[in-house]
Amino acid sequence: MDSRYFIDLDQWNRPKVFYSTLAHWGCTRNEYFEWKVEAERLGSKKGCLFYYFGCRGPLTYSSCNKILWNSVSSKTRVGTPCFGCTEFDFPRVGLFETKQFANIPAELPIGVSKRGYVMLSGIAKVFAPERLKIED
């Protein structure tokens, strides 16, 4: 059979065209994530939702922030954390919380080492631009 009729699938048989990038990569809150500036409350238009509110965007393969709902929005754009609903282990307990050990998230973003996280997170918080620290 002609190979152009086959869809490239990941290890959980999801089409790679939709599940080969992290939800985090299209998130409008990436700058807050990089500077470790956390949202103070759910629904906030500013701040990262990973560190306190359990956002799974840096751990979830999906196209949610690239192919928007109704071509307009996504969970993180309205101030709600990604729940990782496209992942094989969904649903899980502990939505809206980030388990931490000594202020280090128990699950680090894909591709980030614990050593790298510890080294860079303290520096990022200290040097975060003031414009990012202003709560809406």
Question: For 13-129, which CATH class?
Answer: few secondary structures
pTM, 2 dp: 0.82
pLDDT of residue 27: 92
In Å, how far from its chain's centre is CA 130? 23
Taking the domains of the chain in order of start, what are their residue ranges? 13-129
Q: Are 47 and 77 in contact (CB under 8 A)?
A: no
pLDDT band at 29 (very low <50, low <70, confident <90, very high): very high
Tens of pLDDT, residue by residue over 34-63, are 999 999 888 888 899 998 899 999 999 998
Query: Cα dist. 99→35, 85, 89, 107 in Å?
Result: 20, 18, 17, 8
Long-range CB contacts (within 8 A, 24+) of 29-35: 29/76, 31/132, 32/132, 33/58, 34/124, 35/124, 35/125, 35/127, 35/128, 35/129, 35/132
* Cα–Cα dist 68/76, whole Å: 11
